[in-house]
A and B are shown apart, each in its own frame.
Chain A
Amino acid sequence: MSLDLVSEARRQVEICNACRYCEGYCAVFPAITRQRIFAEGDLTQLANLCHNCRGCFYACQYTEPHEFALNLPKALAELRHKSWKDHAWPRGFAHLFDKSGMAITAFLVVSISLLFWIAQSLRPDSGEGFYAYMSHGLMVAIFAPAFLLPLGALGLSLKGYWRSVGGGWLTFAALSDAMHAAAGMRNLAGGHGKGCNFEEEDRPSNARRWAHQATLFGFMLCFASTSAGTVLHYGFGLEAPYGFWSLPKLLGVPGGVLLCIGTAWLAYLKTQADPRLGAPNVWGGEMAFVLLLGAVSATGLALYAASGSGAVAWLLPIHLGTVLAFFLLTPYSKMAHGFYRMAALLADATKRGA
């Protein structure tokens, strides 16, 4: 099966290399033209460089019913999924990718229940805001490893990825090029800037690009908010709860709102797009991931809105439970795409000599 995904992607990429009409859409096609022979690592790199914008599919003169039966977005989506499994660390967790929907549900149930139990049984004697329900020390004890261990696992996966695709020496220019590509979602712009062909078939639209950037920047703001809180706590002895005009809230509230909008929008767009141009088997898992990320932001905002009320008692474990499930599953769910995508953009920049 795995070998088939590779040979099918190779068959299609070789046809693309003889045609080259799609060169202007994204980074994948110029990368194809730099080669004639495609090893598995080369195809893995193309797969992770592909943002599934689908411009090439609708422009292709060789899609079914033509006997060449090209569907490059699907071939690369399936290979991309396979490559994440192949590089997963520890190996034993690779299968979680195939059951993302179930894994997310199971992790959510377990982690929310665990945090409910903690909030009930280990409730501190004193503390303000949510520290009244769970001590700072306990939160750090749970979330520091839950954040750092998955990141470490991802780091090992990416190292394997970099080796298999033959990424070159990292330069500042390559880093800058890749960051620009990600920040502007250059590869979802369609080459003409009108966007990708996702929710309205061959009609390009920037909806997915904007929804994705709302999600990405919303996530970054939330992350910055948490980091700001950590700095305030340890650096300045300023402990939560923070007021609205504090740095954590000024970053976190807009971040949470953006993340809510972005994920809801992405989920809606996903229901409108043709699943046959992606990896159909993992559609459910991808959707579950988007909804999980949405739940992280929505429960976070709800928790803030409920500050001071009794609802914190049950909103806190729910929010922290979603965050915990999200952290733990990062290396084995759709969240991994962000890391692999960044690695692919970097590898591409080094190969172009940027």
Chain B
Amino acid sequence: MVASFSQEVKPMRSDPDILVVGGGNAALCAAITAREAGMRVLLLEGAPEPYRGGNSRHTRNFRCMHSGPQGVLTGAYGEDEYFDDLIKVTGGKTDEALARMTIRASQECYGWMEAHGVDFQPSLSGTLSLSRTNAFFLGGGKALVNAYYRMARDLGVEIAYEAEVAHLDHDGQRISAVEAVIGGETVRLTPQAVVVASGGFQADLDWLAEAWGPAARNFLIRGTPYNRGKVLKDLLDQGIESVGDPTQCHAVAIDGRAPKFDGGIVTRLDCVPFSVVVNNRGERFYDEGEDVWPKRYAIWGRLVAAQPDQVAYAVIDARSLELFMPSVFPPVQADTIEGLSQRLGLPGAAFKATVERFNAACREGDFHPTELDGLATEGLDPPKTNWARPIAEPPFYGYELRPGVTFTYLGLKVDSSAQVQGAEGPVENLWAAGEIMAGSILGQGYLAGFGMTIGTVFGRKAGEGAAAHVA
């Protein structure tokens, strides 16, 4: 493809050896690694400085293999168990060789991260189930991103904010030039190697609508508004090999009152297993108690997306209010079911009938909120197979649920050294890391903390590979 640079394009005074496109975890790992190998590195972050770091800003841990207690990690978490966990969530949609390589490399990431300024903390309250498998960042992902930016700056990585890459010129063998808009000015760069780590396309609602139809415009985007997939699209248009289902995104059910973008962790709602969930016609549509919430939250995004107007309502009674982590928005509250349906804007008669049918189907038994208690409804369709307790004790509470998109699966195909693959083999000087290539390993579903693992492992590999190419 012939480059189509605009008239005002000016070459930079001195081109970097390595250009890193993106400013999140993967990009920073690549930039730091390449700089430590002696390269002159320029990192282009598309977001303004306060929003730097992409979706890494919203993360809180990474999943780490370890053979015994290590730092804040308890017990041991071996390669096979880790891989099994991945198989369970992806249903086998993964590249085993790449996945195992990533898992093995994760062990050594812990020390590297600490050496580059990241601090860890013991597993957060309410997340004890992850204390063995996931190392939590002290302060969360933004603190990690800050630490890496400090490290990068100290090492001499050049950093530009509000620097958006418009086009990478792929001449068939290599990236010969990169066109970027930095601070409103279009520049043409000719680095010797390029690392793309600029995320997926989940903030581009038009693109989501192409795959999902107009319903996608009602989705909320949990993370950064800056992951619009420009670089991804530009490269795919030039014949770079893709991986991952282009029509799929990872979506969870979140509080419907969340901001359109960047609501992050505080918009999550963990009340579904203890509730009755209805759509805006007042009808139930799925077993709320199918499994414990950490194993089910991911499917609820798609379940809600399939409902009219992409909205649903979770309703609980007074007994269940303190059984889950509080969301940031207080629930809608009423003393009667009629009052609640009015406040939630539900059709009163239909909603009341649904609750009455549900209550009548509940039976006596022991209720155990922290385990599968088998307290199931009888003769109800769809059933609720655990934690089925009547919605009986006022006040009643309701939460609006909407699909919140976390990330998209479509990405660039890479090999085990993070090098990007074109139609005729690897692109000589192009590497990819992070969400832009995660679909290679995570073809479906999600495993908590695995995104950051992929970003760290492939970020470092990309930095190494790019530096070795230039040297």
Interface residues of A (CB under 8 A from B): 14-15, 17-25, 30, 33, 36, 55-56, 58-68, 191-192, 194, 202-203
Cα of A304 to Cα of B312 in the assembled complex, Å? 77
Give the distance in Å from the alpha carbon of A192 to the alpha carbon of B121 in the complex: 8
Q: Are B262 and A20 in contact (CB under 8 A)?
A: no
Residue of A whose beta carbon sits closest to that of B144: A59
- A to B contact number (C-beta, < 8 Å): 86
With a cutoff of 8 Å between Cβ atoms, the chain B residues found around residue A64 in the complex are: 50
Knowing A21-B140, A59-B143, A191-B119, say if A67 contacts B150 (CB, 8 Å).
Answer: no
Q: What residues of chain A lie closer than 8 Å to B50, measured between beta carbons?
A: 63-65
Please name all residues of chain A whose beta carbon is closer than 8 Å to the beta carbon of B328 when the two chains form the complex: 14-15, 18-19, 68
- Partner of A24 from the list B138, B142, B262, B327 (CB cut-off 8 Å) is B138
Contacts of A24 in B (CB 8 A): 119, 121-122, 136, 138-139
**Does residue B125 face the partner (Cβ distance < 8 Å to A)?**
yes
Whether the pair B326, A21 counts as a contact (CB closer than 8 A) is no
Q: How far is the CA of A21 from the CA of B58 in the complex (A)?
A: 10
Q: Which of B103-162 contact A (CB under 8 A)?
A: 119, 121-122, 124-126, 136-143, 146, 150
Cα distance A23–B146 when bound, in Å? 18
Alpha-carbon gap, A244 to B308, bound state (A): 86
The interface bits of chain B over 249-265 (1 if a CB of A lies within 8 angstroms of the residue's CB, else 0) are: 00000000001001011
Tell me the dominant secondary structure on chain A's binding face.
Answer: loop
Q: Say yes or no: is B57 at the interface (Cβ < 8 Å to chain A).
A: yes
Q: Is the CB of A191 within 8 A of B121?
A: yes
Report how far A18 CA is from B146 CA in the complex, Å: 22
- How many B residues touch the partner, as a band? 20 to 34
Q: In the bound complex, what is the Cα–Cα distance between A65 and B224 (angstroms)?
A: 13
Contacts of A19 in B (CB 8 A): 140, 264-266, 328
Mark each residue of chain B from 58 to 89: 1 if its CB lies under 8 Å from any CB of chain A, else 0.
10100000000000000000000000000000
Instruction: List, in ascending order, chain B residues with CB within 8 A of A68's CB.
Output: 266, 328
Interchain CB contact under 8 A, A17 and B140: no
Could you list some 16 contacts between A and B, CB below 8 A? A19-B265, A19-B266, A20-B126, A21-B141, A21-B143, A55-B139, A59-B142, A61-B141, A61-B142, A61-B264, A61-B265, A62-B266, A63-B50, A66-B262, A191-B119, A191-B121
B325 within 8 A of A: yes
Point out the residues of chain B lying under 8 angstroms from A60, CB to CB.
Answer: 142
**What is the bound-complex CA distance between A20 and B136, given in angstroms?**
11
Q: B8 at the A/B interface (Cβ < 8 Å)?
A: no
Minimum CB–CB distance for B124 against chain A, Å: 5
- With a cutoff of 8 Å between Cβ atoms, the chain B residues found around residue A33 in the complex are 125-126
B364 interface contact, C-beta 8 A: no
In Å, the complex CA distance between A62 and B57 comes to 10
A30 to B141 CA separation, bound complex (whole angstroms): 19
- Whether A203 touches B150, Cβ cut-off 8 Å, given contacts A20-B126, A36-B326, A67-B259, is yes
Structural contact, B326 and A18, CB atoms closer than 8 A: yes
In the complex, which residues of chain A have a beta carbon less than 8 angstroms from the beta carbon of B237? Answer: none
B152 to chain A, nearest CB (A): 13
Complex contact A36–B322 (CB within 8 A): yes
**Closest CB-CB distance, A57 to chain B, in whole Å?**
10
A20 with B322: in contact, given A61-B140, A61-B141 (CB under 8 Å)?
A: no
Shortest Cβ distance from B428 into chain A, in angstroms?
Answer: 37
Decide: B124 and A61 in contact? CB cutoff 8 A: no
The reply to whether A191 and B142 form a contact with Cβ atoms under 8 Å apart is: no
Check if A59 sits within 8 Å of B139, measured CB to CB.
Answer: yes
Closest to B126 in A: A20
